[in-house]
Structure 1
Amino acid sequence: MYILLTGPAGLFREGVEALLCRFSQDAEVLASNCLTSSWPNDRRPDCVVMDGDCLRRESDELEAARRHTRTTPVIVLLSNAQRQNVDDLIAAGVSGCVEKSASSELLFSALRLAFAGGVYLPRSLVAASLHEPLTTAEADAPRGLPYPDAHLHLTPRQIEVLALLARGRSNKMIARQLDVAEATVKTHLTTIFKALNVSSRGEASAVAARMERIREAQVNKAVNGHVSIGRLLTNMKSQRFRSGEVLFRKGDASAELFYVEKGIVRLSELGLDMGAGTVLGEIGLFSPEYRRTSTAVCKTDCEMRTVSAADAIRLYYQEPEFALYLIQLIASRLQADNARRA
């Protein structure tokens, strides 16, 4: 496991680095002064832990974190977890904020939750939102928001907005995906916050994670083919291929999958043409022997995003919609292949 730790050099960073080395037996920790748009040594970490006290809302480092959160869990350490600051970070897509006064076990709990695709909120903010006194014991004990009222009334559109909010989408991103005005999204969120009895995006995300209707909305999007795979892969490497170029051959080792942005790819053995918006190479990536099941040749000049096996697995765990999309895609292609052989 490779963890990137960013922040000013000194005793604090050295102490956190030593703690992170204890998180897992195979933990490898690299310390860096700051987070940039490119990974150190061009190596993508499994997780990023940042010293949040060095961040500013419009800083280059926060922008770099916002770009990386689509494929890599990011945990931010804060001396003082102010509600607005935490909300901004959660909106940027970070997987959690941990106060520097917390115990090492609490930090490890936040890391485990981040790897599982969850979002960790500071205990002090959770307690404040519930208007409950925070005892010393509670400060070091992970505790979440209560389950929402099963009879809570939210409109279908509000469910959609809340489902996207729970995935770390900003108001602008939600508006773009639902094709509505950003002001409309803000109006929906005001109503949602009041209905959930919360006062921040982070708290709303935590409650949403426990709502069956939110999970159903995410599942239905994937099952009905409404998942924007292109949006999920925006941070992945884009490549150009010429007509006649072979992407992979049947029997080759499978180390990546492809998302076609432009052009047509021919699956030779199957006699299928795959156009823009389709995914290739997913079966080999998840097969026991990790081998290609067909030969893929560019029928025209193509543009594609490539996703490594490690990134595909990470997305599988972090994005439920992506996981369901892949399952449905693999099942449909296996059924089609069986039908052709019958």
Structure 2
Amino acid sequence: MLIILIAQAGLFREGVARVARDFEPGIEVICADYRTSAFEDGTSADLLIVDGDHQREALDAIGALRRISVDLPALALLTEIDQPTIDSFMAAGVARCLSKSQSAQALHDAMQVVLAGATSGTTEQTRATTGPATYSRTLTPRQIEVLALVARGESNKSIARQLNIAEGTVKVHLYTVYKALNVESRKQASIAAARLDKVGDAQLHQALDAQLAIKRLLSDLPARRFKRGEVLFHKDAPSDALYYVLRGTITLQEIGVDVGAGTILGEIGLFSPDHRRTCTAFCKSDCELLMVSSTDAMRMYYQDPEFATYLIHLVTRRLEADKLRSKQEGARRSSV
């Protein structure tokens, strides 16, 4: 596999090149500056990674390279993730934008998704005659569920717990999946999974059923501890973060609702027109939380369809619950 890395010379470029080479054995990374024509010798690359902070130069380089290699899959690395910037790179043909604050594993995951997407861009005839899409017809619904969780990065132990089956059963399912898809590793299975509509459907159902492994998505964040009575945020304050409850109980004061471990809160303010808090939240007990800045939360929303589906479903359910509470409160007042 050949990867072209477009970035200014220096430590950042050398570091990204080293991480990219670790993606799998046999990878070659060619580093080039923005104004360098990396394909003058007719070399055909498998993936383009570009430092997108110098946006104009990066977009020019992407345009020049894609004129030579139309189907070249591309990944942009950015310091700041915002919708206008993402739109600009997507319009230029970039498949994914990744924050530079992410881990090496996050880069590998993004490379995996982008490469899988490039493979899925082949013609319907090719897809019908070759590749894992053909073999997937032999997979059972349970094997599809296991594969969907593997593609999400879950361990065998986590998969067993979520599906309420033995870890040994997970291994048996994976053996069958590997054989059916003609692959030899979890990484290869995950790449193949991105091409299967059934796996995508399973992942969406898991998100809609609130089975999304939020802790996996937030694994790089340190836990923060709060004392009983501490206020996380006040009603009408700017919405600057999401919270995930690891331990303890949070009270949403205005609506009199308590939420506990495994709950996300603060999401509605991210999508409200004025980005303001709709309730005051305080710790009913000592709490341990993960906090995600609004910028990082929106980056995850745009880059992870499963997380976006989960978040939209969560917001909808909570708005419906608020509507029901208002209706019941109105009925109670009328009866007094």
TM-score bin, normalised by smaller chain = 0.5 to 0.7
Give CA deviations for 1:149-171 in whole Å, capped at 9, x if unaligned. 28712122211221122223454
Alignment of 1:115-126 (within 5 A): 115=97, 119-121=113-115
Q: Distance in 1 between matches of 2:28 and 2:161?
A: 31
- Equivalent of 1:77 in 21, 37, 62: 21
Q: 1:292 is matched by which residue type in structure 2?
A: R
Partner of 2:195 in structure 1? 210
Matched, 1:226 2:220: no
| Counterpart code for 1:51 | R
Q: 1:242 Cα deviation (Å)?
A: 1.2
Structure 2: runs of 5+ lacking an equivalent:
31-42, 51-72, 76-93, 99-109, 120-129, 328-336
Q: What pairs up with 1:299-310 in 2 under 5 angstroms? A: 299-310=284-295
Partner residue in 1 for 2:273: 288
- CA RMSD between the two structures: 3.5
The answer for the alignment partner of 2:246 in structure 1 is 261
Instruction: State the Cα distance separating 1:103 from its structure 2 match.
Output: 4.7
| TM superposition shift of 1:237 | 2.7
Q: Alignment identity in percent?
A: 47
How far did 1:178 drift?
A: 4.3
CA distance in 2, matches of 1:106, 1:99: 10
For residues 107-153 of structure 1, give each alpha carbon's deviation from its aligned partner in whole angstroms, at most 9, with x where no partner exists.
Answer: 3534133438562449xxx8xxxxxxxxxxxxxxxxxx746128712
Residue 252 in 1 paired to residue 237 in 2? Answer: yes
- Mapping 1:263-342, distance limit 5 Å: 263-342=248-327
Rg comparison, structure with higher value: 2
**Aligned letter for 2:197?**
E
The 3 A distance-change label for structure 1 pair 324 and 259 is: same
Q: What SS does the corresponding residue of 2:245 show, helix, strand or coil?
A: strand
Show CA shifts across 1:215-264 (max 9, x none).
11111111122223234323223111111111111111111011111221
Alignment coverage as a number of residue pairs: 249
Of the three residues 139, 150, 154, the one matched with 1:154 is 139
| TM, length-normalised to structure 2 | 0.63
Aligned equivalents of 1:313 and 1:98: distance in 2?
33
**Cα distance 1:204–1:151, how it changes in 2: closer, same or farther (>3 A)?**
closer
Kindly tell me: are residues 177 and 337 of structure 1, through their superposed partners in 2, closer, same or farther at Cα, counting changes over 3 Å?
closer
User: Which residue identity does 2:21 align to in structure 1?
Assistant: L
Amino acid at match of 1:215: G
Specify the alignment match of 2:12 in structure 1.
31
1:262–1:304: 8 Å Cα contact kept in structure 2? yes
Alpha-carbon distance change, 173 to 314 in structure 1, aligned in 2, over 3 angstroms: farther
Aligned with residue 149 of structure 2, among 164, 168, 173: 164
Q: 1:115 to 1:180 in 2, by over 3 A?
A: farther
- Structure with greater helix share of residues: 2
Provide closer, same or farther for how the CA distance between residues 207 and 222 of structure 1 changes in structure 2, counting only shifts above 3 A: same
